[in-house]
Structure formats: structure tokens, C-alpha cells
Structure 1
């Protein structure tokens, strides 16, 4: 699909004179809204304070009372990487604080679905009734589940970051930066960030009670690796507060101070911990944990993160690696079927509907989210992929594009067509839902119609934001390394991308779907190695072209101990 390359506008009013920053890095930062050099200071001392998070103090008192009374605390998590890291963090910190009775339970997505439901409460009671249930990365929509817990005499603490509905559950305490009345300035905390803040508040409360007299007080920065992993894997916007959390976690990993499970997952993914960056967490570690929740049971991922023994962590990481390999095979088959469906309805990018829905009865419930994301990226349209769910129902996973708030779209469809959507929830860019199987065609029409009310032509054009051209002297290892480690880069604070026109010296296909090119800058004799992943083999290599317009990342390639500059292509097209 042809993409529009649009260059960012940097704020020329920022004074970088005292920072000693490379002019290119200064340009990159100002293009991402950094207004002053001190905004790049990412020490933990610059975090927003926990007392700004609504009800964090009440949550701390509830948990401190539970510790003092030796109560049983049950953590109810979610079956993705954010949920797994949130669960592992809550269990680990409470144990380190001296809680003798803390356990966890994560719903199996195929048996129980998402969140704290009455069925999960019943299962919790069967497995040893807890005194308090703490949800992590879920619960803000668990009205019936909280009611069931209350009826059973179980107190509930909801910790979540998903958008709240019109009615909140009747929990003992709710902590969610996105709930009404919460003025916490960083609305972008992941679930693991929320529970980390609650543990900060709990530590402060325990200090007030002299809880740590005669016992070691844990340093909560040791959990930064979990917070960084969950934050990056959940693709939440990296505002300054989240960048502080991620930077602290990356620092621990690079110093080999991370927990054995994360080190083992990096090892099976062939990533060096000493050179780890945020994208390694997002594209290597996170998917391996997610694979457990997608195909089977996320508990394998949680146990890997909880392990203190390196050998046991390696064994669990190997199991997660295999599950991820299995997931890839399932996804590849589903994607091929999806593309055939698209061919059947003769979808062309220029004339594609403003939104897409796809459904196959035998698609894997745990993989439809990835499938929706792949099709969304291909067409640049909001996309929902459905698979069979419970009797008479189908479950969908939705992914959206900038400017189209997918949860609000689903809310509007539910309002206009009562009963069409059985349940839904999510974020601006991703959501989940269930609908009656026989309502699929009607839902498709209603969904497309609702997106049409909000979509403008400019939104439906895929855009690559570029930081401009690089001068010939910029293609060097020092600058490439500086860019790689300058972030942390991620959602809403993207890794730098540049663009320019280059002469093609050589081009060839490698591994059936990757393109290797050798290019030269028109104003330099230096040859530049380029890799373009997952290209269309029907379009490339293109031996008729002598010049290419390339959008790319300046990166470092390490091979057999040799380091060299490499350009990673984001988009390439014939140069005008």
C-alpha cells in the first residue's frame, strides 16, 4: 500500500545550547513535543507522586490492614503481557512486604473470558476463599463480578487503566487514572504502572505504621523491569512518566539486574540484555508471554516472571518460545485465509470500505487480535476479526487507526442498536467484543456506518512521519548508536524515521520475503546497506528502478562481532 511520507515540524524555540545534545537529536526531540531539555531527565525522582492517583491512599490502607491481619489476598489478572507483569509484580511485592497468604488467578480466555466475572469469583471460593480480591489490568467493567464477591463476603480492590463505562462496580476501592474524578496527570499508565503506584503508596503506609522495623524494606526500583515490560508490551503512549518507568527498567536489564525470567526470555529471543531497547521488550519478550495467554494459559508466563531460579526460568522461557512459534504458524494460516476473503470482496486500498470486519468459524480466538492488527496495517482501516465463542456467540478483536477511537465507536453502535453487542471494552486503538453469531452481517453494516460518521479522508491515508533527511556525514555508527539508545522510543514517542532519495546499486530477495539493498547517497560515494522486511515479492526486487524514495531508521547491524551502519526500511517507492 502506498503511504504518504510527511515530515515533522520541529519547534525552533527550544534552547538546547546548554545540553550538549547532537543537533539531530535535538531536532528529533522537539519533533516529539519535548519543550525543554529538563524534560529529558528520566530519573525515578521525576515520577508523578502516588498521592496524585485517586484512592491510591485508600487502597494502601486496605492492603496494609490485610497484611496486619494476615488475610488471604487473591490477585486476579489478565491474560496478556500487561496482565502477567501486573500479576507478577503484585504477588512479588506483597510477598516481599511480608504477606504470607497471597495467590493469583487468571481467567482462561477460552473458558471464562475476560476480567472478574461471577464464575471467577466462584472458582476463587472453590480454590480457597480469599478475604480480598485485587484485580490488576482489569475490573473497571466487572459490575456483576464485584457484586458476586460482595455477596460472598469478599472485599474487592479494582486496579485498572481501561476506560470506565457509565456505571462503576461497587468495589471497596477503585484505582484507575481514567476513572471519573481522577486528576492523575499521566492517564497513560498501563495496568502494571497502576499496581506499581499502589505498591508505592502501600510502602508509604507501611512506613507510617513502622511495619519495616526489624525487617528489610524492599527497594521498589528492583521491580522496574516488570513495569517496563508491561508498559511497552501494552503499547500505551510513552508520555514522560511512562518513559521514566521504562528507562528505569531498561537500565536494570542492561546491568543484568533483571529477574531471571526476563533474562531467559531475552536469551531465547537472541537479544543481548546489555544492548536491550524498548522495541526488544515489545517485539521479542512481550509476544512470547502473550503466546501463553493466546494459545493456552498465561500462568506459564507469570511463573516465568516469578522465578528466582535461573534454570527453571530458562525451562519456562523455552516453553513460551515454543508457544510463540506455534502461534506464528496459526497466525500465518489465518492471515492467508483473511487475504483470500479480502480478494473475494475485491478490496483495493483506494476504494476499500472505511472499516473492515472478517469472520471465520474456525479461527483461533487467541490469535484474532494479531490478525486484526495485521489487516489494519495492510489496509489502514479499523478492523475487527471474529472467531466462534460461546454457544450462539462470536468474539471479536478490534484494532484501529489514529483518529478513530474504537471503543467509542463500539459504544455508539451499542447505543444505536440495543442487543447487537453483548459486551465490549477496550482502548482508543484496541478493543474486544462479543455479538450474537446471527447478528454478524447487521453488525458489519452498523460498524461501517458508524466509522463513516467519524472518518475523514485524511485519516484513511497511511502516513509515515519523517524527521527529515540526513546529511551524508550522518550515516555513522556513533550517531546510529546514539539514536538507538536515546529513547526510550514507543507509542506516541516513536523511534526516529528519516527519508530521502537514493541511487540503487544492488537489490536482492533474502529469505523469500525480505529485501536487501545496497544504496548510495546522491551526494556521497558511501555505500549503505538496507534491509526491508516482509516486502511484497510481486513488487520487489524491481530491476527497472535506479532510484528509490526511502523512509528508514538509522540502525546498527551486529554480525559476527562486526558492527556496521544499516538502514531499516519503513517504506520504499519509486523516486519521482
Structure 2
């Protein structure tokens, strides 16, 4: 058995609807299955999804306050008032600032921008920067991607005499700031039909309203911010991203060309994964480590040399960020493992002095990925007696709402259901941890602590072609709420498997089903090679990609997870070097069993784990899914009894023995007859002294002569006295098979034939038959 790492939730779409989509939309079955599994019910609905148009863009004036915003901005431009765009230091905030700056500049506004410094100002509005803006003559502040939670700071700006327009998309609190105008798609009193805009999406709506037309030239900025901020990739957002990617692929955009160059990709190949995993981290890096202003300058510059220079700086900052993230992640994992208290519903709250607050969100994400618990990572400032950090969550634990329940000890926080940032007094960290753990225990179940992977559709091997995989691009872009499909291939044979990579930590396989083959690769899953036994049938989930080599294209499965419900037999017979097979056994789930004391003594110096003698094992109640059988018992029934005690999911068969008798066999009756006649003529024979000469004369092994002597002794034909065989005077007729030694060897030969020297398939069948028969009553089972 191979246990999956996640809970598989497989969608099995209606086959008739799949067939209709396939025919009416002229798409491969793979695409049709994905669309049906995603909830599309009609051809019309599916067609509209596949052919997005600008009709998906909503009227910006449906946002409450938009009329007032347009009037106030035009007034500022007419009266030549200085405007400040106040952004944020992440990719969403940087692109939001860029959209607003480009729009206002095109309108002839006197406009500047400011981005808070994460380490000086923290998240959101800053009194320091508002004072600075006032001193520079700013009359109107427009926030982008922040401001909804800046109650005190916006009141400060108002007290200075400046007007404030807040544009934001973050979760609003119970109290709203005293801004002159608030543009937010998710407020309770709004009539806007799509509440899931990113901060840059809100800025784009403002630009649309101010310009009186859709600012198509800014699509690429909306796409970058929307993807990087992980908002829902449905509705308007989907259209924005689709158009933005198309624009990046085909337009001569200085910032995009520079980012593509330092990322090592072609502009024509940019897609949502490029933005999410290459552009986004680099744009975010500057704000994580210092001033985010260069990020905005990259998008505002009209000089190619400057664009490439800034992009190179972003790249270096990203490398620096990666090194810091690894260091902090390693330290956080060490602290968590030392505590060892995250069993069951729990929330990880971990912190340390001098941890860089700019990367703690990334570290929190890594902790969630490793432990699958909500995680808060804090940098502790002992001088200021504050803790500042980031949170990431899992399904079922609404991070913002759960933090809000602790506002009495958590004065500054903001965010979403799955992510948040916060600052709190150092003395409140332990109390926050204890409260959140109690809250997790109240709202999370043990089942929710096992990550779920939603699988769009199980596929047949014959559906997986390069053409089908290429057609999946019709469904892109993929992202939040429309994730990249996860595919499932069930009960296939693993024809070949091998570890690859310098550390042997990856695995490459060839899967087969019904004569069709498919390459598969699992990065970081090298251990799978040790878990797959011959003939095992496995199910796999993962992504489908096209592997192109020397101009030849082949489908390839990128393995995310694997499982098998069948028990497995691993054949390690005949491998004398223990270090060749021991590392392949998960010892924490395994019990080592021997039937003979000599075997226990032999392996005690080779295996660190406890080796159980079978007779001792039956007196204990150990729990283990796997068993390694180190040797053979004296008879078949003892082995059968071991199998009936527990339904082992894996059996490792070693069957060590120093005195195998299978190839030596049983002496023939003619041999016994000759030997008895030999002894009868001499009456006595110095076996110990002359066994070598006898062996040479007869051609029999010394083991055979000793065995025959033992049989004669047990049948009372001879006495043994200090190595001398003495023929008894009175002999009783007896059959050779009556001697215990003869019976034992006969049984041993049969057992070795069935188990030690049998072909793998015969051995598997032998175990299969006995595992299927559970003869011991349930209350007497040995649950090892």
C-alpha cells in the first residue's frame, strides 16, 4: 500500500454532457471534462467562458462614490492642486500606483507618489508620509491597494487639511475611515456586481471612470497585480488577465522586456505562471527588503536602459530575498519541531529576534505547506517591544475574522481570509498564540488538517496526447478560483522506475495501461522509487505537460501525489549487503521479525532497530503497517500464522539463512543403504576423525554425512560417543521419515522451494493466498 499525502477529491463529470461539449464546442475530451467538472452546465455558458469579450467589464460608476471621485479629481486638476498617489510595497500596490500615476499624468495632473517603507512605516497609511506630503503642498491624497483599515492615519491627514480618497479591496472592518470618498467593491452598501477585484483592479476602474473609456494600454499592469495578489481569477479579473498576457506577448513594453530578459524567457512565451512565479517575486522583492519605489519607476520609465538597470536590481534583490527566506524558514522549522505541539487543530505562532518582516509572509506560506496548519511568523523587536509579521491560513480558518476576535491584544492587523499582516506588543505574543489555538480547536476538525486536492477528472491513457494538452490553453488563464486542472490516472502499471538527480531525490517512470505508455516525473519524490513493488498498480495525480526534446514532443505527467490500495511484496532475498536494502524500508512504520535466535544475533550489529524474535513478538501489541521477515521458520504453518495476525500492507522478504539445504536436497535411500552397510561392517566409526576421507571417497558433502548420521541416531540405529558412531546391537525396523531431522529437512526443502527460491510471482501468490485467510479470531489478532 502507498498512502497518498493528501485527500483526493475526484470529480467524475457527466459523460453525456462531456460528449455534448466535445461535439458542440469542438474541443478534446480532456477540455470538455475539465469544464463539466468546473460546473459548466450548458454549451452557451461554456462558449461564453471560452470567448471572453470586453462586455465582461462592468461600468465603473456602479462603484459607490465614483461620481464624487471623478468630480474631485477634475477639480484638483483644474485648480492645479497637487495630488499624491499613496500605494503599497507589494506587486499589487506597485502596479496600482503605476496605473493611477499613468492615468493622472495623461490627464495633466500635478501628481507624485509615495510608497511606505515596510520597516519604517509598516503596512497601510503612514502619518510620517502624510505629514511629508502636506509639507510638500499636497492637497489631495488617493490611496491605492490600502487605506480601508487606516482609521487613525486618515484622520491625521484630514486634520492637516488634506482631502483623502481611499481606493482599496482589503477586508473592511466594522468601522470605516473618515475619508472624503471610499471606492471599494466589497463594501456592504455597494451595488458593484464583482467584489473580487485586486487593488490594481480598483485602480483600473478609477482610471476607466476618469478617462471615460477603457484604458486598454494598462491591461498588462492589471494582469500582473491581479495574478500576484492571488485574487479570484473569475469574472472581470479573468478578462483583465487574459488581455494583459496577450498585451505582454505582443507589445513593446520596456518594463516587460526587461523583466523577461532577467527571468530568462521569451516575451512571446509569457503566461500566468511567468507572472506568478517569475515577475511577481522580483517586483515584490524590493518592497520586502527596503524601498519599493524602484518597482513603480520600472513601470513609469520611458528609457530602455533605465528599465533594464532597474530590472537587474530587482533580480539581485530577489536573490537576496531567497537566501533570507531559506535561513528564516530553517530556523522557524527548528523552533516548531523543538516545541512539538502542533498535533490536532492548532495554529503555529513562531517568532525570533531580527527576522526580516519583509519576507515573513513567504515563510508563513512555507510553514503552511509543510505542516498544513494556519501559521503566523513574527519578527521580534526587543528594543521597541513589538512583534511584526505575517499570517497564512488554510481552508476552514478565516484568518482575518479569527484575528479580529483578538483586537484587544492585537491593535494593528489587516488582510484576507487566507492571509494577514499584523503588529502587536511583544508581551501579547504568547496570549495570542494560546487564544488562536483555542479558536482553531473550536472551528477545525482533524479531517480539515489533511490537505485536500481537487481533481478535475480521471483520464484514460488514450486521451493523453500532445494535441489534447496543447488545447488546454483554451481554458487559461488559471489562478485563484479557477486553478490549473489536476489530472488523475488510475490503476496503471509502473513499467520502469528509477531515481534521478544528483541527490537521487527525483523519480522518473514509464506508466503503462492497455499497451499505451506515458512518461512521468516526480520532482522531490525520489522516495517513491522505494515504495513501488513489481506488478503493483498505482494511481497518480498531477499536471500534464509536453516534453520537447530534439524536436520531438511527448506527453508527460508531472507527479503531485500517488497511492495504491494493494498490499505490496518487496523482494530483498539474496541481497547480503544490508546497507543495500535497509535504507529503502521506512523503519518508523516497520517491524523486523526473525524466527531463529541465530538470525537475531546476526542482524543485531547491522540493524539499529529492535529485531523481534517471533515467539517474543506474539506476546506484545505493537503497531506497524510493514513487516520485514529476516529469515525462514522451521515450517510453513508458522509463516502462515504470522500473516494471519495482521493485514500487513507491505512485506519485505529477506529470508536470510546460513545453511540452505534446497540445492543439497535429501540423500537418496540408496545413499542411506550404503552408509548403513558401511557402518554395519565396522560396528564403530570415528566420524569426527575420518569424515573428510569418507566425504572424499563417496563424493558426499560432510553436511550430508552428518545429516545421515543424525537420522540414524534418532532412529536408534547408532549411538554417538565423542565423535564415534557405535552401531546398536539390537535394531528396530523404522522408516527414515520417522526421524525428526529427516522430517525437518524435508519441510525445510519444501519451504525453501516455495519461499526462498520461488520466482517473484509465485512468492507473491503464496503470500496472497495466506493473507486472504484470516483464521485467528479478531480478539486474538496481533495488531503489530
Same topology, TM > 0.5: yes
Cα distance 1:560–1:56, how it changes in 2: closer, same or farther (>3 A)?
farther
Once the two structures are overlaid, the 10-residue window that deviates more, 283-292 or 54-63, is 54-63
Instruction: Find the structure with the greater CA-based Rg.
Output: 2
Q: Structure 2 length as normaliser, TM-score? A: 0.67
* Aligned match of 2:360: 368
Gaps of 5+ in 2: 567-784
Q: Does the alignment pair 1:34 with 2:43? A: no
Deviations 1:499-539 (A, max 9, x none): 2244151322325485141221322342414242x44x6x3
* Aligned match of 1:212: none
Cα distance 1:504–1:411, how it changes in 2: closer, same or farther (>3 A)?
farther
* Aligned match of 1:524: 515
Cα distance 1:323–1:561, how it changes in 2: closer, same or farther (>3 A)?
farther
Q: What is the RMSD computed on CA atoms of the aligned residues?
A: 2.2
Contact kept? 1:549, 1:575, Cα under 8 Å: no
Of 118, 131, 135 in structure 1, the residue corresponding to residue 127 of structure 2 is 118
Q: Does the alignment pair 1:288 with 2:288? A: no
Contact kept? 1:425, 1:433, Cα under 8 Å: yes
Of 99, 105, 125 in structure 2, the residue corresponding to residue 95 of structure 1 is 105
Of 445, 466, 469 in structure 2, the residue corresponding to residue 480 of structure 1 is 469
Report the Cα distance in structure 2 between the residues aligned to 1:170 and 1:513, rounded to whole angstroms: 60
Q: How does 1:122-521 map to 2 (within 5 A)?
A: 122-126=131-135, 128-204=136-212, 220-255=215-250, 257=251, 259-346=253-340, 351-389=343-381, 391-414=384-407, 418=408, 420-484=409-473, 486-500=475-489, 501-502=491-492, 503=494, 505-510=496-501, 512=503, 515-521=506-512
Cα distance 1:342–1:225, how it changes in 2: closer, same or farther (>3 A)?
same
Q: CA deviation at 1:564?
A: 3.8
Of 84, 91, 94 in structure 2, the residue corresponding to residue 74 of structure 1 is 84
Q: CA deviation at 1:444?
A: 0.6
Cα distance 1:447–1:473, how it changes in 2: closer, same or farther (>3 A)?
same
Report the Cα distance in structure 2 between the residues aligned to 1:251 and 1:316, rounded to whole angstroms: 24
Once the two structures are overlaid, the 10-residue window that deviates more, 259-268 or 509-518, is 509-518
Q: CA deviation at 1:542?
A: 2.2
Q: CA deviation at 1:77?
A: 0.4
Q: What secondary structure does 2:25 align onto?
A: coil
Once the two structures are overlaid, the 10-residue window that deviates more, 370-379 or 16-25, is 16-25
Q: CA deviation at 1:570?
A: 2.1
* Aligned match of 1:216: none
Gaps of 5+ in 1: 208-218
Q: What secondary structure does 2:475 align onto?
A: coil
Report the Cα distance in structure 1 between the residues aligned to 2:232 and 2:495, rounded to whole angstroms: 37
Contact kept? 1:514, 1:531, Cα under 8 Å: no
Q: What secondary structure does 1:59 align onto?
A: helix
User: Higher relative contact order at CA 8 Å, sep ≥6: structure 1 or structure 2?
Assistant: 1
Once the two structures are overlaid, the 10-residue window that deviates more, 18-27 or 312-321, is 18-27
Contact kept? 2:148, 2:166, Cα under 8 Å: yes
Contact kept? 2:256, 2:267, Cα under 8 Å: no
Deviations 1:340-366 (A, max 9, x none): 122212367xx3442211111122111
Report the Cα distance in structure 2 between the residues aligned to 1:511 and 1:193, rounded to whole angstroms: 44
Q: CA deviation at 1:427?
A: 0.4
Report the Cα distance in structure 1 between the residues aligned to 2:71 and 2:549, rounded to whole angstroms: 53
Q: CA deviation at 1:490?
A: 0.3
Q: CA deviation at 1:544?
A: 4.9
Deviations 1:396-419 (A, max 9, x none): 2110112221000001122xxx2x
Q: What secondary structure does 1:131 align onto?
A: strand
Report the Cα distance in structure 1 between the residues aligned to 2:209 and 2:473, rounded to whole angstroms: 34
Of 529, 551, 557 in structure 1, the residue corresponding to residue 541 of structure 2 is 551
Q: What secondary structure does 1:449 align onto?
A: helix
How many aligned residue pairs are there? 551
Once the two structures are overlaid, the 10-residue window that deviates more, 63-72 or 169-178, is 63-72
Report the Cα distance in structure 1 between the residues aligned to 2:252 and 2:175, rounded to whole angstroms: 40
Once the two structures are overlaid, the 10-residue window that deviates more, 510-519 or 475-484, is 510-519
Cα distance 1:433–1:28, how it changes in 2: closer, same or farther (>3 A)?
same
Q: CA deviation at 1:558?
A: 4.7
* Aligned match of 1:105: 114
Contact kept? 1:118, 1:148, Cα under 8 Å: yes
Contact kept? 1:509, 1:541, Cα under 8 Å: no
Deviations 1:234-262 (A, max 9, x none): 0001122210111010111121x162112
Contact kept? 2:34, 2:485, Cα under 8 Å: yes
Report the Cα distance in structure 1 between the residues aligned to 2:159 and 2:127, rounded to whole angstroms: 10
Report the Cα distance in structure 1 between the residues aligned to 2:432 and 2:445, rounded to whole angstroms: 21
Q: Does the alignment pair 1:542 with 2:530? A: yes
* Aligned match of 1:213: none
Q: What secondary structure does 1:70 align onto?
A: coil
* Aligned match of 1:18: 24
Deviations 1:110-135 (A, max 9, x none): 00111113222112224x12111110
Cα distance 1:80–1:281, how it changes in 2: closer, same or farther (>3 A)?
same
Cα distance 1:77–1:60, how it changes in 2: closer, same or farther (>3 A)?
same
Q: What secondary structure does 1:521 align onto?
A: strand
Report the Cα distance in structure 2 between the residues aligned to 1:152 and 1:559, rounded to whole angstroms: 65
Q: Structure 1 length as normaliser, TM-score? A: 0.90
Contact kept? 1:177, 1:187, Cα under 8 Å: yes
Q: What secondary structure does 2:137 align onto?
A: coil
